[in-house]
Amino acid sequence: MTTNQMVSASPFPSPSVAPIDPVFRQIRDLVYKVCGIFQLEEKLYLMADACGRRMKQLGVRTPREYWDLLTAHSSREAELRQLLNEVTIGETCLFRSQPQLDALRKVILPELAQDKNKQVIKRLRIWSAGCSTGEEPYTLAMNMLEESEHLLKGWTIEILATDLNDRSVETAKAGIYGDYALRSTSEYFRRKYFTPAGEKKLEVRPEVRELITFSRLNLQDDSRMLFMKGMDLIFCCNVLIYFDGPSKSKVIDHYYSNLNFGGYFFLGTSESLLKLNDKFHLVHFPGTIAYWKPSLKSGKL
Amino acid sequence: MSTSVTAIIRERVQSIETMPAIPTIFLPLLDLLNLPAERVKLDEVVKLVSYDNSIAAQCLRAASSPLFGLAKSPESIKGAVIALGLRKVQTILLTCCLGNAFPTKNWPLDPTVFWRHSLGCAMVCRKFSEKLEAEDGDRAYMAGLLHDLGFMVNCIAFPKEFAAAAAHASQKQISLDDAELAAMGFTHCESGRALAERWNLADDMVQVIAHHHAPEQGESAQSLVALVHLSDLLCRMRGLGYGYYERRRVDLVGDPAWGILLKEYQNLAGVDLALFSFELDEAVGEVFELVSTIFGAAKARD
């Protein structure tokens, strides 16, 4: 059986499709243990597909041989990183995680608004760390603009969007997206916050862009990380998976001190901190988890 | 809650004619569920299944559903029980048995949603107790399955008041027990307790039914109650809730129930909650299928 046969074009593979080689389940568990990214059983075919592409590039014939490669001490880290690249490829789009946006707008913002109600300057600071080509910060900005008509009326909203890659940051600044990146963006948002830009492309409107400051930042640059203070929310999706254990811990510690008390840190939808930090509280919202820096009044520090 | 309110609920539950008597096979079934799997006798289960025609039919139908992937439909009850496995049969039995006892006509709560939550919670309870290496996974399963018995009571004994509470909850996106308290002055915990006591259920089940929203108030079996409480919350946050968006943040580790469990099970500290949630997502589809398999005919029956 070739790997291609295992890959179904349909997002709901029918039971008649050849069963997935159990080695891919082992690989899934290894990826979780090392990087904290979980692949649902129903999405296992995506993992199999990604492995298939890597196997082809490496000239590896069987999934079992590929497993040996992933677990051999010398090649393990490098190959896992390559595999993760394949797994997360093309995942980015605007409005990628509706449960996160719901948690933000329905639970977190009302709570923050109440907490900050007595402050003279009402300010909300959000950091999109590892913003890639800008889909996440623009999504956040549009949702915040929606709220600024009601709950956040009169608030100052600042979104910081950083990425290590210069080219990504430039693409992000341009704010022009095609159908694929916009596949989850509703008609309502397309009309309200975009203008047509050439063939089948849309460009974000200036008022969305105005909320965001784009810059290049290396998350391992300790001196710069120290200055990213006063955040209410940090989003860092599918970025930490590329860091080794100690660097990851360090970045997470930075995030903890970058956040205000009562602030939240979001990872990717099926990503976990793997207990690398015991100060953050893992909290649940419907359909999503986040890491919470307990507020001073909660007495849970 | 004052004694007088308890008395009123108890009286209402006692006096309502439509309030179901305990189904005949219910207690023997619970006893059977209590036994370690190796001591459960196949013939006894077959006898229970055969006792009620409609339940027997439901079991046969469940056994021949694609969910269990059998090559051909079993022809006898015994064949169905063997094909499904005892544990699954017991779940189906208990569900059918309760489903038959409480006709779901005009329920303010969608029965499908109710059963998804109950079966989901049962499954999470068992999984959770496995993670804690607790001995009584089946007991935990049963506790999860029965914890919201009071909603069934409310649907029948207080239909108008409970309908208002349920509508208020989904409209305001608040938790159902908060809405009950606001609209009725009591919750499904109290009414469930009244029926559980009338049915002479074992004390730990009564405790779970009565205190699963506030385990620290339980009188006994606190760790089982705490386990159900946490599993209930987890289900509601991962797509197995009451069918509407609950606007809330759930901090399981910061919950008093977590502390209660931690005292008994030190390995709770090692449980990876994120992974547990992701694993739960995998099982949601199965719960949906199981409910539609068992429940498809029950709905048509009413």
**Is the minimum CB–CB distance between A279 and chain B shorter than 8 Å?**
no
Cβ–Cβ gap A41/B278 under 8 Å: no
Name residues 213-232 of chain A within 8 A of B (Cβ).
none
- For the ranges A42-56, A121-135, A251-265, which has the lowest average pLDDT? A42-56
Cβ–Cβ gap A285/B249 under 8 Å: yes
The string of pLDDT tens digits covering residues B226-242 is 999 999 999 999 999 99
Partner residue opposite B237 with nearest CB, options A270, A272, A286: A286
Name residues 1-40 of chain A within 8 A of B (Cβ).
32, 36, 38, 40
Q: Which CA distances in Å does A224 have to A130, A164, A168, A227?
A: 15, 13, 19, 5
pLDDT on residue A13:
40
Cβ–Cβ gap A287/B237 under 8 Å: yes
Other CB atoms within 10 Å distance of the CB of residue B277:
21
Do residues A21 and A44 make contact, with C-beta atoms less than 8 angstroms apart?
no
Report, at the CATH architecture level, how domain B3-17+105-283 is classified. Orthogonal Bundle (1.10)
Share of residues in chain B with pLDDT > 90 (%): 49
A212 φ/ψ angles, rounded to the nearest 5 degrees: -110, 140
Q: Got the DSSP string for A148-166?
A: TTTTTTT-EEEEEEEES-H
pLDDT on residue A7:
36
- For the ranges A141-150, A228-237, A288-297, which has the lowest average pLDDT? A288-297
- For the ranges A206-210, B16-20, B103-107, B208-212, which has the lowest average pLDDT? B16-20
The chain-wide mean pLDDT, for chain B, equals 86
Domains of chain A: 3-88 (1.10.155), 98-298 (3.40.50.150)
pLDDT on residue B43:
86
Partner residue opposite A284 with nearest CB, options B173, B250, B278: B250
**Is the minimum CB–CB distance between A283 and chain B shorter than 8 Å?**
yes
Do residues A251 and A243 make contact, with C-beta atoms less than 8 angstroms apart?
yes
pLDDT on residue B103:
78
First to last CA, chain A: 54
Partner residue opposite A102 with nearest CB, options B245, B254, B282: B245
Crossing angle for the helix pair B86-101 and B26-34, to the nearest 10 degrees: 150
Cβ–Cβ gap B278/A273 under 8 Å: no
Q: Which has the closest alpha carbon to A280: A271, A293, A267, A289?
A: A293
Q: Which has the closest alpha carbon to B37: B143, B133, B137, B183?
A: B137
The string of pLDDT tens digits covering residues B59-97 is 787 777 766 666 667 778 888 888 777 777 777 778 888
**Is the minimum CB–CB distance between B280 and chain A shorter than 8 Å?**
no
A271 φ/ψ angles, rounded to the nearest 5 degrees: -115, 145
Q: Whole-model pTM?
A: 0.88
- In angstroms, the CA A245 to CA A222 distance is 16
Mean pLDDT, to the nearest integer, of B135-153? 90
Partner residue opposite B278 with nearest CB, options A38, A108, A110: A38
Q: Got the DSSP string for B206-229?
A: HHHHHHTT-GGG-SS-HHHHHHHH
Mean pLDDT, to the nearest integer, of B36-52? 81
Q: Is the dihedral of CA A34, A37, A39, A40 positive or negative?
A: positive
List chain B domain ranges. 3-17+105-283, 21-101
What ipTM score was computed for the predicted complex, to two decimals? 0.87
**Is the minimum CB–CB distance between B274 and chain A shorter than 8 Å?**
yes
For strands A176-177 and A202-204, give the pairing: antiparallel
- For the ranges A47-56, B100-109, B176-185, which has the lowest average pLDDT? B100-109
pLDDT of residue A12 exceeding 50: no
- Looking at per-residue confidence, does B121 or B37 come out higher? B121
Do residues B218 and B227 make contact, with C-beta atoms less than 8 angstroms apart?
no
